[in-house]
Amino acid sequence: MSEAKITATATWGADPRKTPPDMQNMDAWTMKLRYKGRSFTIPFFMGYGHSGAKPTAALVLEALTGDAASYAEATDIDEFAANMGYDMSEAEDRRKVRRIYTGVERNTRKLKQFLGEDFDDALDTEGWLEAHT
């Protein structure tokens, strides 16, 4: 039996209300991922070095699972910030980290719902993403 594949549709542009200030000058995409009858739509940003190339399901899932793993490994926002290299002694960094942490927390919940019973394997199993994208 073949493995179910995650597919993606990339549409140029993203909702400006969902674009963080530090990503305003990046290539913005709206990604719709599909897997086992479920879908997940998320804004996705890439630097100009990609020259407008469409992101793939693998690239988006790699970013989402990496963020989810960082979130899961941290016991709180301070540990998350330290793991990500932020200095929480600066007020501006604290605000930025809180925004990032809240976004990663939200996206992790959505990713877990999207992947269902495969969520843990997607984060922990070597080669899972490659086999499913």
53 pLDDT higher than 90:
no
79 pLDDT higher than 90:
yes
pLDDT in tens, 3-35: 789 999 999 988 777 777 778 788 889 999 999
Question: What is the sign, positive or negative, of the torsion defined by CA atoms of 23, 28, 34, 40?
Answer: positive
63 pLDDT higher than 70:
yes
Task: Report the pLDDT value the prediction gives residue 1, as an integer from 0 to 100.
Answer: 42
Task: Report the pLDDT value the prediction gives residue 2, as an integer from 0 to 100.
Answer: 54
Return the SS3 of 35. strand
- How much is the average pLDDT of 84-99? 85
Task: Report the pLDDT value the prediction gives residue 49, as an integer from 0 to 100.
Answer: 78
pTM of the model: 0.88
How far from 67 is each of 3, 79, 83, 85, 123, CA to CA, in Å? 24, 14, 11, 14, 10
- How much is the average pLDDT of 38-63? 90
Amino acid at 54: K
How many Å apart are CA 78 and CA 55, to the nearest integer?
A: 31
Tokens in use for 27?
């290539």
45 pLDDT higher than 80:
yes
Task: Report the pLDDT value the prediction gives residue 73, as an integer from 0 to 100.
Answer: 94
Identify the residue with better confidence: 126 or 31: 31
Averaged confidence pLDDT in the chain: 90
